[in-house]
A = this chain, B = another copy of it.
Amino acid sequence: MTEREAMSEAEEFLKVARAARDAATVLAPMPRAPKDAALRAVADALEAATDEIVAANAVDVDRARESGTSEAMIDRLRLDAGRIAKIADAVREVADLPDPVGEVVRGSTLPNGLELRQVRVPLGVIGIIYEGRPNVTVDAAALCLKSGNGVLLRGSSSAYSSNSALVRVMQEALAATGVPSDAVQLVPGQTRESVKHLMRARGLVDVLIPRGGASLINSVVEESTVPVIETGVGNCHVYVDADADIDTALKILVNAKAQRPSVCNAAETLLVHAAIADEFVPRALTALKDAGVTVHGDERVRAYGADVVAATEEDFTSEYLSLDIAAAVVDSLDDAVAHIRRYGSAHTDAIVTRSQQAARRFVATVDSAAVAVNASTRFTDGGEFGFGAEIGISTQKLHARGPMGLPELTSTKWIYTGEGHVRA
């Protein structure tokens, strides 16, 4: 990129960011009805533009094939009429959800007669950086619009043609509604520089939500002056306590690991209390093997099976997202918690136990976004929790923790009304 091109990309970015900000100012005080009408118009427009979107997507698919991308990855990238219809339906589902904006969170009349209330308001402009499939472009835009926010979308450069088409269709649809079409913007450019513009746009962008692998998220956290909500890295643990029911533990372990290994709430490490290891570990190794899972075990786990690969320190910090699991035997519940604190990503950690005391202690001392008792880690999900939709799963403690639905895309404003009240 020449200096001149770099400059023009920076200017382009500022242009779309300011447009999103101005649009967000108009969008913020809007009530629910015009926002829902706009979302339904977007859904209809996406379906009507199926041919245009599929053609744009073919450009990305061809480029991916030329560069030797695996068929599995190409399949994640591909859009067809059926997938576009599903994307549109997801937008209609967002329209059906309650509007978080305007909800009175707290309120009272103060002793001096001032009427005080705390009301949900949009955050402003939300930047989303994602590596996922093109459907994220539409899902994220719909959730941001519904919650009254402008959105700057920065998807994978491998899906740039598809994302451009999707955003263009959404903007055209919005232009015929009360919602300003500039509220949805694709960050221009496909280079790393365009991500940097977003990270330095303090004052124009209110929050950045990176969705993707650990390296993307770490670089955003390190470099961004815009506040960040970290999402999605899940090194989830299943701890099988001394008091576990063996069959329950096996069922939960296999489900948490193998039911859908590519997602962040899948289990990546098994911890087994020493008192139950003789009984449990051999059966666990068989069950995992039957499910196609490779076990990377510490020395104590390796004593139970010849197939177990020797685990390194790295295995215990890994988010495999594959049919692999790290495994260790621990001497106590407290050792299991210490292991989770040391190696975990504070996403979701589960205990399997019949003991009230053990469950209580595990829940109190594991410092993660979600703690599961006698349940698979796979339930940490906005859909499962009944949110209707999810923008990601926060693994940080500020603002939002765990699955983020529409309320997590809002801030609040205090309003107080008097009749000439002054402080004495």
Contacts and interface: CB of A to CB of B under 8 A. Distances in A.
A368 B412 CA distance: 9
B413 A370 contact: yes
A274 to B, nearest CB: 23
A287 interface: no
Contacts of A333: none
Q: How many copies does the complex hold?
A: 2
Nearest to A417: B373
A299 B159 CA distance: 54
Interface stretch (A66-74, A79-87, A376-384): A376-384
Given A255-B423, A375-B416, A421-B374, A399 B398 contact: yes
Contacts of A245: 420
B414 A375 contact: no
A422 B265 CA distance: 12
Interface stretch (A1-9, A108-116, A132-140, A180-188): A108-116
Contact of A207 (B123, B397, B420): B397
A88 B295 CA distance: 57
Nearest to A223: B225
A390 to B, nearest CB: 13
B367 A124 contact: yes
A206 interface: yes
A422 B378 contact: yes
Nearest to A30: B364
Contacts of A376: 421-423
A35 to B, nearest CB: 15
A121 interface: yes
A227 interface: yes
Contact of A227 (B396, B413, B414): B396
A266 to B, nearest CB: 10
A90 interface: no
A307 B423 CA distance: 27
20 contacts: A28-B365, A110-B384, A118-B402, A121-B367, A123-B398, A207-B398, A227-B398, A247-B420, A370-B413, A370-B414, A371-B415, A372-B415, A373-B415, A375-B418, A375-B420, A376-B421, A376-B422, A399-B399, A402-B414, A403-B414
Given A207-B398, A402-B412, 12 more contacts: A110-B386, A114-B375, A116-B385, A202-B221, A207-B397, A227-B398, A359-B417, A370-B414, A371-B415, A375-B417, A401-B412, A401-B414
